Amino acid sequence: MLPENGLNSGHSYSTASEVMASADVKRVLSRIAHEVVEHNRGCTELVIVGLQTGGVWMAEELCSYLVEIATFPCVLGSLDISLYRDDHAFRPFIRSSSTDVPVSVQDKTVLLVDDVLFTGRTVRAALEAILDFGRPNAIQLAVMVDRGHRELPIRPDYVGKNLPTSRSEIVEVSQEGVRILKGVGNGS
Amino acid sequence: MVTGRRKFLIRGGLLVDSKGVRRSDLLVEAGKIAACEKEIDPPSGAKVVDARGLVVSPGFVDLHTHLRQPGNEKSETISSGSRAGVSGGYTALLAMPNTTPTLDSPEVVSYVRQLAKEAVLDVYFAGAITKGRLGESLTEMSKMAELGIRLFTDDGAGVQNGQLMRRALEYAKGIGVTLAQHCEDLTLSNGGAMNEGAVSAVLGMKGIPNAAEDVMVARDIELVRLTGARLHLLHISTGRSAEMVKVAKADGLPVTAEVTPHHLVLSERRLADFNPIFKVNPPLRSDADRLALWGALGQGTFDAIATDHAPHHKEAKDTTLDQAAFGMIGLESALGAVLGELQRQLADKVVGEGGLSDEQLMNLVGLFTWRPARIAQIDDVHGGPLVVGRPANVAIFDPTFKWRLSETEIVSRSKNSPYFDTDLVGKVLYTFVNGDLKLREGELCL
Amino acid sequence: MARSLVSISDLRDDEISHLVELSRIFFEVNSREIPKVPTLRGKTIATLFFENSTRTRLSFELAATRLAADVLTFTLSSSSVSKGESLRDTAETIESLGADLIVMRHFSAGSVQLVSSWLDIPLVNAGDGAHEHPTQALLDAVTIMDHFKTGKRLDGISVAIVGDVLHSRVARSNVQLLSRLGANVTLVGPPSLLPLDLSLWPVRISNCLEDVLPGCDVIYMLRIQSERFSESLMPSIGEFSRAFALNSERLEMASKGAIVMHPGPMIKGVEITAEAAESPRSLIRTQVRNGVGVRMAVLYWLLGANQGRLESIW
């Protein structure tokens, strides 16, 4: 499931082009980790929360960089925002329980992590969801790719790559790299 | 009512009555059977009915009809019920006394007799055994017998008190009438809504055990042994009751018994989704009981197939199973339901061409005609035989016609039939009531 | 006619498994500091109870509230609604008011199915006569699974259901569900409180609780109502308790790991003693707690993304 990419099955994509290679992804994650440390001087505890499903591996990797370089403690969690979506009537449900916020977020800094930032609706739902776990001091957002087309006033704090796309394209992010799949369907 | 206005020649049919099975033409004139010969030339003015491939039988006689009038005309009237009867091949109905008021006095008898003039066939009435059918004190049976009532029953309920039933039997014997019993021990049925068995257990429905019927059948057979009075047992639904009837008959007791089409065709399984259409009293039993009833039918244990036609308006059935009314209509579907089920059973046994033997046909027609007519003591007018001089009460049916009953075609004022999704085989196409054609090619012509 | 939950037999195996997963998601939600999600915001859930049952109604209403749905409460005495017409009127009125789902309890078996045939919105059966109580069975199944850590199955778990099986909708739903999930179910009670013909039930039957106790993992006690004694189904409360009540001595006869369950409300001293109900082996309070999450799962399944389907809507 690619939650930020709209219609994703029943369509075929003629071409795929690689935008980032595996090494680029690693480099970017390391860079973001340093930015996070830089940005959060004096932070008491950082709760890194990957959004299901694409943000989870990224949060894990980011956390492992941060543990080595940060002066503050880092805690890893994950968040399934299905129950908070404003469009859940049009989305299939994620089947397995995948929310795991192991500590209270009260008065802490939360870093939301997702692979692709698109319309901003997932992040909006994530903001609502995380607030049900307490009132953090601050919430920040890290994404690997910002592909534009925002529908809500949401801006990431840390971006791996700004990637102008058309709405009909699909952006695929993994440890192996970032690819754009060109839509040949009705791409609305 | 002017009878026998026209002449009819029924040609080429297979005549089936108590005299046997034969191919013969039949001339109906002035309300009577005027001729019955191998071939009759059409007399002038005679309307010819082509009965080739059809069975010509005496008009059917239903021992067990609820006409709901007076008191519940929303569900049925004597007129509407009689039309439904004609559609099903009936020329005589015995109306049950559980009306409002109860048919329990000479005054009510006279009143309903007046109402019965609206009927398009011959309606006879059964009187109540106890006043108000309350099971407490006997009705004035001899006064009602004087007005022509030949059969008494508290149908809808059985007479619970054994002593009172004994007295009723003795009294009835003295005046030459027959009692009929709805066999149900109310302390055992105890408010149940369906058969107590595998299905009620799953549904969590309160059930009516077989024993509720069997106990009263046993008691009443012993009371017949004690008193020597005639007793007709209504709507037998269990294999055990049928067995007891068989033994009583072998003992020479004056006991007769009827079975309904629905107890022969349907079982408790039909209630598995709580459909109140299948709620009836006695309840649809297990398939083992149902097959035992067929076995008893084959051995001649039953004297009649009676419909227990029980019309209910929509609201009485459009509710939960425990609160819905008991009963289903049956006049229009009786032959089709029984023959349909018989055909299904025969098909399994690979009987020649799937047809009925002459003996089977005669047995079947007897259960619809002359045998119930004798129990109701109306065999001077109804139930045949089809011989010269007899009143022309005749039904003509196609024994192989396959059809489905649809709600819109039902003649009865109530539509609570359980057969909308059942293949029916055998359809009555013509009904003559005292020489008048009332049903032509399956359509009422009144 | 929308997808409803009337009977356990309405559910396919994969749907049961999905509801178990969903239930666990909502258990997690219920453990949060703010145990509420906006999933069913804007939906209206009506509870229509023709029988008094504060517990089940509250459990459903809390479930609806935690999904951010609006709740309409209808409680009717059985005397004011004894005729079929008014049942229909009431149900149609609630639908017209704009309810998206009705949670219904009624004293007549089959009533919920009947009402669902009249309406276009989903119904959830919260108990229809002695017929079924499917959400109780679902919460019981999940409670047992989570206790014995058997995943989404109950293979090899032996469950004794004890007491008034004849009048129990809880027993009917549980027998179906637990046995489908692989459990071995034994019904225990006097013959007068067991259905006459159990040929369609995948169960073993016993008239002696003490025989069954050593071999079972779950001792599931049913409530016994006092009117059963006036109906002569048992001579007296004392006579029933003597043979079938769960007390400390009997609990000792059960295997070490056996647990005690009861659908509530309990009549302590009749079918279960206070010591047995409050023993560390009792999961009765867990059942109540899990009830909310399981009901959230059912409401979400019928009203949320897939509206009672499993297939992706694409």
Which residues contact residue A169 at a Cβ distance below 8 angstroms, ignoring those fewer than 6 apart? A147, A180, A181, A182, A183, A187
Instruction: Identify the closest residue of chain B to C201 by CA–CA distance.
Output: B202
C27 interface with B at CB cutoff 8 Å: no
Instruction: Identify the closest residue of chain C to A86 by CA–CA distance.
Output: C39
Helix C54-66 and helix C284-303, axial crossing angle in degrees, nearest 10: 50
Predicted interface score ipTM higher than 0.90: yes
Which residues contact residue C71 at a Cβ distance below 8 angstroms, ignoring those fewer than 6 apart? C44, C45, C46, C47, C61, C64, C65
CB contact under 8 A, A90 and C25: no
The pLDDT value given to residue C229 = 78
Which residues from C are below 8 Å from A104, CB to CB?
33
Give B206 to chain C, closest Cα distance, Å: 9
Pick out chain C residues at pLDDT < 70: 1, 77-85, 305-314
Residue in the structure block whose two tokens are 């349907």: B266
Residue in the structure block whose two tokens are 């509230």: C65
Instruction: Identify the closest residue of chain C to A7 by CA–CA distance.
Output: C314
Give C66 to chain A, closest Cα distance, Å: 11
C159 and C183 in contact (C-beta within 8 Å)? yes
Which residues from C are below 8 Å from A131, CB to CB?
34
The verdict on whether B308 is a catalytic residue reads yes
The pLDDT value given to residue B4 = 52
Instruction: Identify the closest residue of chain A to C31 by CA–CA distance.
Output: A133
Residues 143-182 of C with CB under 8 A from B: 167, 169, 172
CATH no. for B59-383? 3.20.20.140
Q: Which chains touch C (3 or more CB pairs under 8 A)?
A: A, B
Distance CA A183, CA A152 (A): 24
CB contact under 8 A, B322 and C200: no
DSSP state of A107: T
The pLDDT value given to residue B357 = 85
Which residues contact residue A21 at a Cβ distance below 8 angstroms, ignoring those fewer than 6 apart? A177
CB contact under 8 A, B203 and C131: yes
Q: Which chains touch B (3 or more CB pairs under 8 A)?
A: C
Dihedral sign of CA atoms B23, B29, B34, B40 in order:
negative
Instruction: Identify the closest residue of chain A to C38 by CA–CA distance.
Output: A84
CB contact under 8 A, C84 and B318: yes
The model carries a pTM of: 0.90
Helix (H) or strand (E) holding C237: helix C237-244
Which of C89, C113, C114 is the mutation pick for testing B, counting most B CBs within 10 A?
C114
Q: How many CB pairs (< 8 A) connect B and C?
A: 73
Are chains A and C touching, using the cut-off of 8 Å on CB pairs and a minimum of 3 such pairs? yes
B211 interface with C at CB cutoff 8 Å: no
The length of chain A in residues reads: 188
Which of C78, C104, C108 is the mutation pick for testing B, counting most B CBs within 10 A?
C108
pLDDT in single tens digits along all 446 residues of chain B: 445 568 999 999 999 999 999 999 999 999 999 999 999 999 999 999 999 999 999 999 999 999 999 999 999 999 999 999 999 999 999 999 999 999 999 999 999 999 999 999 999 999 999 999 999 999 999 999 999 999 999 999 999 999 999 999 999 999 999 999 999 999 999 999 999 999 999 999 999 999 999 999 999 999 999 999 999 999 999 999 999 999 999 999 999 999 999 999 999 999 999 999 999 999 999 999 999 999 999 999 999 999 999 999 999 999 999 999 999 999 999 999 999 999 888 776 544 455 678 898 999 999 999 999 999 999 999 998 999 999 999 999 999 999 999 999 999 999 999 999 999 999 999 999 999 999 999 999 98
CB contact under 8 A, A92 and C314: yes
Residue in the structure block whose two tokens are 């004609």: B86
The pLDDT value given to residue B132 = 97
CB contact under 8 A, A92 and C25: no
Q: What are phi and psi of A95, to 5 degrees?
A: -80, -30
CB contact under 8 A, C33 and A80: no
Q: Choose among B201, B274, B315: nearest Cβ to C200.
A: B201
The pLDDT value given to residue A94 = 53
Give C226 to chain A, closest Cα distance, Å: 43
Domain ranges (residues) in chain B: 59-383
The pLDDT value given to residue C248 = 95
Pick out chain A residues at pLDDT < 50: 1-11, 89-92, 185-188
The pLDDT value given to residue A4 = 43
Catalytic residue (choose from B62, B104, B154, B308): B308
Q: Which two tokens stand for residue C41?
A: 């915001």
Distance CA B3, CA B6 (A): 9
C33 interface with A at CB cutoff 8 Å: yes
Of 3.30.200.20, 3.40.50.2020, 3.40.50.1980, 3.40.50.720, which CATH number belongs to A23-166? Answer: 3.40.50.2020
Distance CA B441, CA B53 (A): 14
Domains and CATH numbers, chain C: 8-132+288-303 (3.40.50.1370), 135-285 (3.40.50.1370)
CB contact under 8 A, C36 and A80: no
Residues 31-70 of C with CB under 8 A from B: none
Which of B274, B277, B285 is the mutation pick for testing C, counting most C CBs within 10 A?
B274
Distance CA C302, CA C285 (A): 26
What DSSP assignment string belongs to A16-34? EEEEEEHHHHHHHHHHHHH
Which of C33, C43, C100, C302 is the mutation pick for testing A, counting most A CBs within 10 A?
C33
CA dist list (Å): C251 to B211, C157, C275: 39, 17, 10
CB contact under 8 A, C24 and A10: no
- pLDDT tens track for B92-123: 999 999 999 999 999 999 999 999 999 999 99
A147 and A175 in contact (C-beta within 8 Å)? no
Distance CA A121, CA A5 (A): 11
The pLDDT value given to residue A92 = 46
Q: Choose among C21, C36, C312: nearest Cβ to A92.
A: C312
Which residues from C are below 8 Å from B324, CB to CB?
84
B191 interface with C at CB cutoff 8 Å: no
C25 interface with A at CB cutoff 8 Å: yes
Number of H helices, E strands in chain C: 12, 9
C230 interface with B at CB cutoff 8 Å: no
